[in-house]
Structure 1
């Protein structure tokens, strides 16, 4: 049986009051600042996600220096003593075709998608700390081996990062009080965008001064060193943390006592498949990730082909939205928790409000781009705003999994993230097909399709989204 009352009442029904009332009363019982253990976990996760995305982006930058499609003279696929002008000499340069480069770059997404649900399930069974730490460590080690793999002509796969996001949701289900989830989780998630921004800037400098292999050696080495800090600093739950204060431990455990323990060996897959609140999250994730990945992968091409920016301007302008996106995550989290703590809205209403802002406003920006004429500045401002404002979904659909099923949050995040990855694979292909016919009309249609999908996903989420724990996600239901 599904609960739909709060879908339209924004979590203000009797059940929402039952779930949220005691927690709101407890909110004033224990307050700490940046010195609290849960804030410390948010900062450690921020750095961990920073490293994960730096490792992920490093290949995208280094492959420019690794390849030399204009030099067809190497019989072994390697240009002897070759290097691009402007890059450090001595590093090998490979004659990989555009198709081969695409396979290498896309291999990450295939592995990333395949490990999402598995990572969520394993983190629920053995703990988020070990799954996340192991995934980051193995990714760092594989990054160190990339130069050797390239020499052997191996198409390597850095897909173990797929376990990281589900694992962090499993951790937050044990650490984040309901009225602090938005700020804590969004502080951690901001590490993704800041890591991407820094990697875009640093990786190019490393390629120019030291050579592309050092991108993998430096990023992989730092990642391995950070994993040591991860295993030393992070604890699976407040009960096992040796330095947490008694007051904070009691506050966290009392605020989460209603949600039950982590899931067992079996999962209520049939009930999950029938759950409209879960489908609402999945559909919304697919639609908003379509817009996000479309802009991330196609915006540099749009700036070059339509707005006619040179490579230096293109790189800087393409990186700027990451800063806005990261800051937007943090601000949205703080505002969402403020509204919940002051009882301005219920949980469902807050999630739908921030999802609406993060999906509708970027869609409006995209629709406006084709009608601004020849103003390159206005186009850049609108595209940057779209990527910045979409971060508001971080306080909406992105963390709604923990609201409706905290026991299965990691596994559910893996499922919905897979939907997002599928859209990330399809969206750039769809843009290419549209633009290949007629660039001007194609870009306009690409923006309209993304906006229309976001509007559909938002309507579906507002209609069927929920803010309370579902029947099938309660511990007593699993026992029965």
Structure 2
């Protein structure tokens, strides 16, 4: 049945097909998630304002902003800044709940259908958004976003399980980063295309939700028809590639029926480094991805099309830096120039300290629009090394429980997603430069404090609790939480040979 597909596609390395399809999954997921951040600027009735004051610390920048330059904007609603903050954060209320169950499901049943179900649920709720808002306004939108987050919570755990199944350790940084940078591509498309659609749509803001929901539906159909959970069951992967992947990942990966080692994980410092680092990064990331369109519109007074395009630019930089840094990370590990642990620590730190500095600097650019946009591009772009630094680190620590680890990480990140829009809504009722400067200083503090935990505790070697059945309940190494006999790195920090 699959002979023609095998002849045609067997020459294509299927692990890279997975990397592309996984990236597209995250892309459509993020585009559906964040497009509301720009659309809400057109959904809310905004009174025209202007400011001639030069005291930008106390007032917004001079200029004029209105709800839209398009007369066909659809219905608009009188939602204050606090209500908008609740709406933007409500996705993460559901998202945080389904993470751990989703990770357990992905670890037990594989990633293909777990991921498909997540995207399908998000697609359905995205397509329903205009109808629900027209009937129930803010309350309906909040409930819809909670349900959307609840369904989409299995996305990253499922993806992490698939990375563990498809990515050999020597290519894990590249493949994992390529998949995870769908967050940036989705943000780029979700902002740039949404801005254009909002400007020229004959039906206004509802078209944004129909457009991205349709794209996601196309991905779901393609994924179900043509992709598989692992090389073992893939019908047209070449035997050479299947053997290569199996040989490279078989050492620390098994089909397991053991209970998840919650107690051992909870006492593992490298596990806590994942959570601390993820919270710190996501606090800064969600501050920007959720509220940057509002800053561009309400403070800098960019038009809706300019807002979409300029909001997308920083994530273009982030995508480029992410992929370049992932290639560098794999090269450093493969060549033996740095241990996996040191690579993960260095790249995570670079992806935290750099953004912390430049985002605060942007707030001091005040109303110099060119300077502020450049600083945002640099600051968000420097978040890129976080992906080969910490986002793939769960697979390093435990290939067998990578879905569960990613679920817990994403749940902790979702907590930041819940808090940041509310914090922004509370601190910026007047949308002034000074109010936003406080927001950026808080992000700076969270970045810097959480990175201390990363520097102390992050590790890059497989932990003993990855396979308790074979490793036993032996003594933990106090340095890294792994049994001495199971280390991939020597105590001196050099790779064993």
The normalised TM-score by structure 1 is 0.82
Cα distance in 2 for residues equivalent to 1:376 and 1:68: 24
Q: Deviations over 1:315-359 (max 9, x none)?
A: 432221011111122112111111112111111111111112111
Cα distance in 2 for residues equivalent to 1:147 and 1:443: 30
**Aligned pair count?**
437
Cα distance in 1 for residues equivalent to 2:193 and 2:227: 28
* Residues 1:121 and 1:50: Cα distance change in structure 2 (over 3 Å): same
Compute the displacement of 1:177 (Å). 0.5
Compute the displacement of 1:429 (Å). 3.8
Contact in 1 for aligned 2:111/2:159 (Cα 8 Å): yes
Gaps of 5+ in 1: 1-32, 71-83
Compute the displacement of 1:439 (Å). 5.5
Task: Give the structure with the higher percent helix.
Answer: 1
Partner in structure 2 of residue 26 of structure 1: none
Cα distance in 2 for residues equivalent to 1:427 and 1:221: 29
Partner in structure 2 of residue 336 of structure 1: 329
Partner in structure 2 of residue 107 of structure 1: 90
1:284 aligns with 2:261: no
Alignment of 1:64-463 (within 5 A): 64-68=41-45, 86-87=69-70, 89=72, 91-94=74-77, 100-153=83-136, 154-155=140-141, 156-157=144-145, 158-159=148-149, 160-207=151-198, 208-211=200-203, 212-264=205-257, 266-303=259-296, 313-369=306-362, 375-431=368-424, 442-463=435-456
Cα distance in 2 for residues equivalent to 1:427 and 1:92: 27
1:38 aligns with 2:29: no
Q: Which moved more, 1:314-323 or 1:117-126?
A: 314-323
* Residues 1:429 and 1:237: Cα distance change in structure 2 (over 3 Å): same
Partner in structure 2 of residue 49 of structure 1: 26
Compute the displacement of 1:291 (Å). 1.8
Compute the displacement of 1:35 (Å). 2.9
Contact in 2 for aligned 1:69/1:97 (Cα 8 Å): no
Cα RMSD for the two superposed structures: 3.1
Compute the displacement of 1:453 (Å). 2.5
Question: Equivalent residue of 2:154, what SS?
Answer: helix
Q: Deviations over 1:372-397 (max 9, x none)?
A: 68754333322221100111100011
Compute the displacement of 1:193 (Å). 1.4
Q: Deviations over 1:32-80 (max 9, x none)?
A: x99311011001111221111222233334444444477xxxxxxxxxx
Contact in 2 for aligned 1:189/1:329 (Cα 8 Å): no
